[in-house]
Amino acid sequence: MSEIIAALDKVSYKYPRSSDFVLKNIDLTIRKGEFFGVIGPTGAGKTTLCLTLNGIVPQFYGGRFFGHVHVAGLDTLDHPISLMASHVGAVFDDPETQLIATSVENEIAFALENLLVSREEIMARIPRALAAVRLEGTEKKHPAELSGGQKQRLAIAAALAVQPDLLVLDEPTSQLDPVGAQEVFATVRELNKELGMTIVMASHAAEEMAEYSDRVALLSHGELAALGGPDEIYSQIERLLQNDLRPPEVASTFYLIQKKGGPIPKIPVWMGEGVETLKKVQKTCEITPPRENWTARTYGGEPLLSLKDLKHVYPDGTEALHGVSLEIREGEYVLIIGQNGAGKSTLVKHFLNLLKPTSGSVKVGGVETSQMTVSDLARRIGYVAQNPDNQIFNATVGEEVAFALKGLGYAAEEVESRTAESLAAMGLSEAREMHPLSLPKGDRARVVIAAILAMKPEIIIFDEPTTGQDYRGAKYILEISRQLHQMGKTVIVITHHLYLMPEYAERVLVMGKGTLLMDAPIREAYHAVKLLQSTFLMPPQAVLLTQELEKLKGQPLPKLLTPDELAGCFRCNHSGRIP
């Protein structure tokens, strides 16, 4: 057994203003060179646990603390945070707030300067830290000139430069696009494998955590609900779901096959293992796809939104869209995917008249948008931006919903009836007199949606509603999108989380570098694996397994999307358990 780097002994903690303990009797040890994962739903205590490791909890927050935390042999309560900071490097979720300097080199130097490291030593460490995260040559750049993934890698480099014993990362990929997330995971993994850096990482990215972690701690309501290898933790599908955690799709798939009697002694939790297991299982099971109608629903009528040869060049000369044409009809549910910078937002902003085409045409309901004002369009198209807090202007939920209606000049009774109706539809009637910001984040998003619904738009656009949300939060908003779709609204969702969408979306637009790479029903789009990967989008594991299975069996399968669908094809009656 290798050396222990961090040990928590009967740790309980309560913030000064929290009513209950946020950590409850936690016992665990972290060993040198380990990749230690921390998972759990929002509010389970992951961040607090991370912050106990450098003494910020409790020395910065105060509150009541029980038990002991030792990191690198130091008790985190007996040593100042500044000393602990030289042993523990920390990386947080928001790329913007954790970079505090005006240039890349200053960012790396900042903690070192505070720790009184000499100038010569700092200058020697900067290139090493940048090389470790592959950011060489960016020394003089302002953080705002970096992409999201680069910003997070810079934060990692800055944490590494103090030469810590332990690197703690709290949801470092939750705000990133898939390319950025992949960059960060690759970097962290390399640090762990090549340099032997001990990693503690809290994350919702189930697939990656299952693959990279050595051990995983599952927190639930501040308690350590389970601790073990990823194969142990991620194969307990029911426990994960009970805790509002999303299992890796590989694990879900084989769990379901196992339930149907498939001969699976051990549920695989990452793709490589999954493929191996699949090879064995398919030999003993019969594969018969259920007789369902796999063809996509089609919509008739005049297009509600239409783009023709849309080009957009920003004033600085960046060509953001190069001739995009498409039509969206009433009642569709459309998913738009692509990396940051692929042109998704630029595209959507044309529907709303926030951007004007450089050339080409944009029509809403058959009318050129150039002949409509933003406020005309706002009544037809509701736009829910990513951060609900940027869209909350008023001091009560009721006023927020009525805000636009008053501005649009509706009569008082109309304002009142629409407000009440909209609040009821979003389940917010009780919260009417409350301040929106006193509600939890998911509810704040509902306030914004209620305010938009009050204008009775035909089309609703959700721009990255799932970024920074845990599984439950993401599902919650997507369920709202489903309700709206069922009410007959046209729904457009932009998201990076492909695996969340099969239950909801019908049609997918794949954007890349300002062009529409593909416009197809979701099954076809998700199975265009090469195309998706070419733009760094990761198809869900169920899709990859389906294709793997096709290859193994040499028989064509329908374009399956989810673990349920895939497991549904397996007939493993030889075991006798379930025919």
Partner 1 sequence: MSMLKFQTVERDSFFTRLDFRPKLVMMAVITIVAFVWESPLLQVAMASLLIVAALVVGVKFSYIRLVITVMIPFYILLLLTHGFFNIDQVKALTGKSELTPMFVFPENWWLIGGGMMSWEGFLYGINAIFKTLSLVLVIPLGVFTTDVDTMIVGMVRARIPYKIAFIFSATLRFFPVLFQEIGMIIEAQRLRGLAMEKMNPIQRVRVYAKVAVPLILGAMVKSQQLEVVLQSKAFSGSPVRTYLHESEMRTVDYLLMLFFVLFFIAATVLYFVFRIGAFGGPI
Partner 2 sequence: MTTPSGEEREVKFLGGASIDGAPVAYIIVLAAVVTALSFIPFSVVMASGGSFPMAQGVYSLVGWVLGPIAGAVASGIGALIGVFLAPHTAGVAPVTVYGAVVAAFAAGTMVFGKLRSKWWIIAAVIGVGSIAFFFGRALFVNGVSLKAVVLGGASQWVGVLLFCLPTRNIFARWIASKNIGMVALGVFFGTWASFAVSHVAQSAITYYMFNWPEEVWMLLAGLVPVEYVSRCLIGAVIGAGVIAGLRAIGIVKPTYATY
Residues that bind partner 2 in the complex, under the rule CB under 8 A: 9-12, 17, 20-21, 24-25, 58-68, 77, 80-81, 222, 393-395, 435-438
| CA distance linking residue 560 with residue 568, whole number of Å | 10
Query: What per-residue string of b and e applies to 165-183 under the rule 16 or more CB within 10 Å gives b?
Result: bbbbbbbbbbbbbbbbbbb
Task: In angstroms, give the least distance from the CB of 158 to partner 2.
Answer: 17
**Considering CB distances under 5 to 8 angstroms, the limit depending on partner class, which of partner 1, partner 2, none binds residue 51?**
partner 1
Q: 97, exposed or middle or buried, with CB in 10 Å at 0-12, 13-18, 19+?
A: exposed
**Considering CB distances under 5 to 8 angstroms, the limit depending on partner class, which of partner 2, partner 1, none binds residue 158?**
partner 1
Task: In angstroms, give the least distance from the CB of 178 to partner 1.
Answer: 22
Give every CB contact of residue 223 below 8 A, 6+ residues apart in sequence: 24, 25, 26
Interaction between residue 71 and partner 1 (CB under 8 A): no
Distance, C-alpha 414 to centroid of its chain: 38
Q: Which is nearer to partner 2, 16 or 301 (CB)?
A: 16
Task: In angstroms, give the least distance from the CB of 56 to partner 1.
Answer: 5
Amino acid letter at 411? Answer: A
Give the phi and the psi of residue 34 in degrees, each rounded to 5.
Answer: -85, 150
Q: Which is nearer to partner 1, 409 or 488 (CB)?
A: 409
User: Which residues between 522 and 541 bind partner 1 (CB under 8 A)?
Assistant: none
- The two tokens of residue 555 are 């028989």
| CA distance linking residue 119 with residue 355, whole number of Å | 48
Cross-strand partners of 30: 6
Interaction between residue 393 and partner 1 (CB under 8 A): yes
| CA distance linking residue 70 with residue 54, whole number of Å | 10
Task: In angstroms, give the least distance from the CB of 385 to partner 1.
Answer: 5
Helix (H, G, I), strand (E, B) or coil at 93: coil
Q: Which is nearer to partner 1, 352 or 537 (CB)?
A: 352
| CA distance linking residue 256 with residue 361, whole number of Å | 48
Query: Candidates 52-60, 182-190, 540-548, 551-559 — which segment interacts with partner 1 by CB under 8 A?
Result: 52-60
Q: Which is nearer to partner 1, 165 or 519 (CB)?
A: 165
User: Which residues between 86 and 105 bind partner 1 (CB under 8 A)?
Assistant: 86, 88-90, 92, 94, 96-103, 105
* R_g (Cα) of the chain, nearest Å: 26
**Considering CB distances under 5 to 8 angstroms, the limit depending on partner class, which of partner 2, partner 1, none binds residue 232?**
none
Q: Which is nearer to partner 1, 212 or 410 (CB)?
A: 410
Q: Which is nearer to partner 2, 77 or 518 (CB)?
A: 77
**Considering CB distances under 5 to 8 angstroms, the limit depending on partner class, which of partner 1, partner 2, none binds residue 435?**
partner 2
Binding mask 447-486 for partner 1 (x = CB under 8 A): ----xx--x-------------------------------
Give the phi and the psi of residue 358 in degrees, each rounded to 5.
Answer: -70, -40
Task: In angstroms, give the least distance from the CB of 461 to partner 2.
Answer: 26
User: Which residues between 365 and 384 bind partner 1 (CB under 8 A)?
Assistant: 373-376, 378-379, 382-383
From candidates 147, 361, 394, 547, binder to partner 1 by CB under 8 A = 394
Q: In three state form, how does the secondary structure of 37-70 look?
A: EEECCCCCCHHHHHHHCCCHHHHCCCCEEEEEEE
**Considering CB distances under 5 to 8 angstroms, the limit depending on partner class, which of partner 1, partner 2, none binds residue 77?**
partner 2
Amino acid letter at 171? Answer: E
**Considering CB distances under 5 to 8 angstroms, the limit depending on partner class, which of partner 1, partner 2, none binds residue 122?**
partner 1
Q: Which is nearer to partner 1, 306 or 391 (CB)?
A: 391
User: Which residues between 296 and 355 bind partner 1 (CB under 8 A)?
Assistant: 316, 349, 352, 354
DSSP states of 459-522: EEEEESTTTT--HHHHHHHHHHHHHHHHTT-EEEEE-S-GGG-TTT-SEEEEEETTEEEEEEEH
User: Which residues between 259 and 288 bind partner 1 (CB under 8 A)?
Assistant: none
Q: Which is nearer to partner 2, 20 or 194 (CB)?
A: 20
Query: Candidates 121-129, 412-420, 492-500, 518-526 — which segment interacts with partner 1 by CB under 8 A?
Result: 121-129
Interaction between residue 112 and partner 1 (CB under 8 A): yes
How far apart, in Å, are the Cα atoms of 20 and each of 15, 62, 352?
A: 8, 15, 46
DSSP states of 240-294: HHHTT-PPPHHHHHHHHHHHTT---SS---SHHHHHHHHHHHHHHSEE-------
Q: Which is nearer to partner 2, 16 or 317 (CB)?
A: 16
From candidates 2, 118, 284, 573, binder to partner 1 by CB under 8 A = 118
Query: What per-residue string of b and e applies to 471-491 under the rule 16 or more CB within 10 Å gives b?
Result: bebbbbbbebbeebbeeebbb
Task: In angstroms, give the least distance from the CB of 59 to partner 2.
Answer: 5
Interaction between residue 411 and partner 1 (CB under 8 A): no
**Considering CB distances under 5 to 8 angstroms, the limit depending on partner class, which of partner 2, partner 1, none binds residue 421?**
none
The sheet with strand 215-220 has its strands ordered as 88-91, 166-170, 198-202, 35-39, 215-220, 223-228
Helix (H, G, I), strand (E, B) or coil at 6: strand
Task: In angstroms, give the least distance from the CB of 145 to partner 1.
Answer: 7
Task: In angstroms, give the least distance from the CB of 367 to partner 1.
Answer: 17
Q: Which of 466, 422, 470 is closest to 447 using CA atoms?
A: 422
Binding mask 486-515 for partner 1 (x = CB under 8 A): ------------------------------
CB 509 within 8 A of CB 335: yes
Distance, C-alpha 487 to centroid of its chain: 27
Interaction between residue 181 and partner 1 (CB under 8 A): no
Task: In angstroms, give the least distance from the CB of 43 to partner 2.
Answer: 15
Task: In angstroms, give the least distance from the CB of 393 to partner 2.
Answer: 7
CB 253 within 8 A of CB 545: yes
